[in-house]
Amino acid sequence: LFGATVHFGRIHMKPGKPTTFLTCRIDYDDTSMTTTIARKKKKTRFVFALPGNPVSAMVCSHLFLRPAVELLRRGGNSEGASSSSSVQDIVQNALVHPEIDAILESNAVLDVERPEYHRVSLRWDVPTGKFMAKSTGVQRSSRLMSMGGAHGLMCLPQGVPGGKMSCKAGETWPVLLIDGPYCGAGKLLRWKDSRHATGRIFDNLVASSSSSSPTTNSQKKASKLPLKVGIISIDGCSASMADLEKRVLSSLDTAVIVCAQTSSDQDVISTLQNSSNGADDAELIVIISNGGFKRDSQLSVALGEVLEKKADALALQIRQGAAAQHGLAGLFEVIVGRVNGKMIILLPEVGLEGGLKKVYGRVIFHAIMIGKGKTYQHKHRAGESKSRWA
């Protein structure tokens, strides 16, 4: 559209899924130049396409527009920032929302499709010396009243059928401060210090919060089922195959390597489609690349053309995790989908652990089962009929 470049869209979050960000080059006249030819220049413009529902637009304004404006206004000159002028350094020192931990006062049902920014009002509990969070009510993106009295956005994880489907009263979860008297409770953070921005928002919280929910024997048994993984290292990876195997195993919850091989860009597609190459037993094949932007982009396009079905939301999560590990990894496209009945993940070597850890455990397991056409039935909200994941 008008020569614009779309950088992301269809965000894996609630509310705000349709949010899109793009850049375009606009002609302008530099009046400081004397000649007509010299005055003709181009500037890059940032374009945010926000959702139409009012709550979605407001939440996304806080999450995307506010940090972008802070970045443009301050650049890398926030307190404690390095004097380096590199783009990566400027982004790492951009200011983002203050973060606190708060205790839920009532139960909250988790969405099974997306993680949620749940609007909450806060109060300070003097006896315990902790923040208490109360939901602002029904969280529909069209219900503007859910923003009324909201002091922050509580970061709630995606619900997992057969696993954690709700957050219980008394559990502690992170909150991004957006308004009200408590905004001064935490100073603006730099990107590199933010748990939310770097994908560490649930560190040290999920385990303690989940401990209050009993785990059934069937859930324990299912969580121990080994995931059969194949590895394809594209020519150019700096690490040895043995090292890559260790890194993949350390990043996935419970896995076993059933095949590992090196392939060229040209042969990787035929390798995936050939059932006699030793990968026939693999449920997940991780393709690890390190060939530079142009080469990896060509590989992404070629792989995308043979996918039976893409999983863009999962790819976005993996890309975010990879970028949290290494900033440059965010510039590479991550591809997730199915080929020959197997789940395929293409990601850069520099963000290998961060990308896989973002979706390890039940998330990747359910994605694989859904890809196989398995039926999952759930009642994630009272009164709703059972639905089939496909």
Structure tokens given for 74: 């301050």
Would you write out the chain's pLDDT as a tens digit for each of its 390 residues?
A: 567 888 888 888 999 999 999 999 888 776 666 655 556 678 888 999 999 999 999 999 999 998 888 888 876 555 544 444 566 777 777 788 889 999 999 999 999 989 999 999 999 998 888 999 999 999 999 999 999 889 999 999 999 888 889 999 999 999 999 977 776 666 677 888 888 877 766 655 544 444 444 444 444 444 445 788 889 998 878 888 888 988 888 888 677 888 888 888 778 888 787 755 556 678 889 999 887 778 888 888 888 888 888 888 888 889 988 888 888 888 888 999 888 878 899 999 988 988 898 887 666 777 776 666 654 444 443 444 333 333
Whole-angstrom distance, CA of residue 145 vs CA of residue 285:
46
Q: From the CB of residue 378, how many other CB atoms can be counted at a distance below 10 Å?
A: 16
Structure tokens given for 233: 């290292």
Structure tokens given for 270: 């035929």
Residue count of the chain: 390
- The long-range contacts involving 365-372, CB below 8 angstroms and separated by at least 24 positions, are 365/222, 365/225, 365/227, 365/253, 366/160, 366/161, 367/311, 367/314, 367/343, 368/227, 368/283, 368/284, 368/343, 371/309, 371/311, 371/338, 371/341, 371/343, 372/341
Cβ 147 vs Cβ 58: under 8 Å: yes
Class of domain 96-210: mainly beta
- What per-residue confidence (pLDDT) applies to 387? 33
Cβ 288 vs Cβ 234: under 8 Å: yes
Threshold 0.85, pTM exceeds: no
- Of 263, 244, 242, residue with least CA distance to 252: 244
- Of 1, 42, 48, 43, residue with least CA distance to 22: 48
Whole-angstrom distance, CA of residue 81 vs CA of residue 89:
8
Amino acid identity at 280? D
Structure tokens given for 390: 């496909």
What residues are paired with 123 via a beta bridge?
A: 132
Instruction: Please write down the HEC assignment for all residues of the chain.
Output: CCCCEEEECCCCCECCCCCEEEEEEEEEECCCCCCHHHHEEEEEEEEEECCCCHHHHHHHHHHHHHHHHHHHHHCCCCCCCCCCCCHHHHHHCCEECCEEEEEECCCEECCCCCCEEEEEEEEEECCCCEEEEEECCCCCCCCHHHHCCCCEEEEECCCCCCCCCEECCCCEEEEEECCCCCHHHCCCEEHHHCCCCCCCCCCCCHHHHHCCCCCCHHHHHHHCCCEEEEEEEECCCCCCHHHHHHHHHHHCCCEEEEEEEEECCCCHHHHHHCCCCCCCCCCEEEEEECCCHHHHHHHHHHHHHHCCEECHHHHHHHHHHHHHHCHHHHHCCCEEEEECCEEEEEEEHHHHHHHHHHCCCHHHHHHHHHHCCCCCCCCCCCCCCCCCCC
Domain boundary assignment for the chain: 5-94, 96-210, 219-371
Give CATH for domain 219-371.
3.40.980.10
